């Protein structure tokens, strides 16, 4: 199934859901976000970019792990980003940048990050755009840099049909997310050492994907 919401509709969906976003996302996605951090294995002092920071749940943890490094976060939706800013400020961290930005056109030079992370964004994006966005992520990563992604995926059993039915009939209830599988696209773009983990939380199926820029 392909994405049902266009970019303006995605922005509108997250403008509306920003105040309650953390409740749903905490119940169904916290395990995979934690796994992203473990897999990314950020060393203090590295350059880290998070694309689609949302309300900044992951970004706050990145700031703790990388207090002496460069930390940048972007998101399409001001209402989500303002929550990320408040969260980062409350954490007492400094020296980070959080700004409006679009995954399709990263405003960073080539080879500028050690790690690029993004959680629960690709599952909103049309499949035809996966390769172009992954190429953008690869462009800004330095040689040997790591990409770490989490997204809703297809579950192996009966509840997959329930999520698919919901997406087909009420996509806004899922925040516009549907189950996808990203590994073949990372292969196509030329990432190496690709690993995929399946994570299930409250019957919500996610995958965590890791790759390295050769």
Ligand X SMILES: C[S@@+](CC[C@H](N)C(=O)[O-])C[C@H]1O[C@@H](n2cnc3c(N)ncnc32)[C@H](O)[C@@H]1O
Binding residues for ligand X, rule: CB under 6 A, are 10, 14, 25, 29, 33, 51-54, 57-58, 74-77, 80, 102-104, 119-121, 124, 175
* Residue placing its CB nearer to ligand X in the complex, 121 or 186: 121
Residue 59 Cβ, how far from ligand X at the closest point, in Å? 8
Residue 31 Cβ, how far from ligand X at the closest point, in Å? 12
Q: How far is CA 16 from the centre of its chain?
A: 19
- Whole-angstrom Cα distance, residue 136 to residue 52? 14
Residue 14 Cβ, how far from ligand X at the closest point, in Å? 4
Cα distances from 54 to residues 17, 76, 87, in angstroms, run 11, 9, 11
CB nearest ligand X: which residue?
A: 54
* Residue placing its CB nearer to ligand X in the complex, 80 or 134: 80
* Residue placing its CB nearer to ligand X in the complex, 129 or 164: 129
Residue 214 Cβ, how far from ligand X at the closest point, in Å? 25
* Residue placing its CB nearer to ligand X in the complex, 115 or 143: 115
């Amino acid at each position: 199934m392909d994405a049902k919401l266009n970019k303006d509709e995605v922005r509108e969906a997250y403008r509306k859901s920003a105040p309650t976003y953390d409740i749903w996302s905490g119940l169904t996605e916290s395990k995979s976000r934690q796994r992203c951090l473990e897999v990314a294995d950020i060393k203090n002092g590295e350059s880290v970019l998070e694309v689609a920071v949302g309300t900044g749940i992951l970004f706050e943890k990145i700031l703790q792990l990388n207090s002496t490094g460069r930390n940048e976060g972007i998101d399409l939706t001001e209402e989500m980003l303002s929550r990320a800013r408040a969260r980062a400020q409350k954490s007492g961290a400094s020296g980070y940048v959080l700004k409006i930005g679009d995954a399709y056109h990263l405003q960073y030079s080539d080879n500028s990050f050690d790690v690029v992370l993004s959680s629960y964004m690709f599952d909103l994006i049309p499949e035809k755009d996966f390769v172009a966005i992954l190429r953008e992520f690869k462009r800004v990563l330095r040689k040997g840099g790591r990409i770490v992604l989490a997204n809703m995926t297809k579950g192996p059993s009966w509840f997959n049909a329930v999520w698919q039915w919901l997406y087909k009939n009420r996509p806004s209830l899922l925040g516009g997310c549907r189950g996808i599988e990203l590994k073949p696209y990372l292969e196509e773009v030329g990432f190496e050492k690709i690993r995929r983990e399946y994570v299930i939380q409250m019957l919500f199926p996610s995958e965590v994907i890791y790759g390295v820029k050769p």
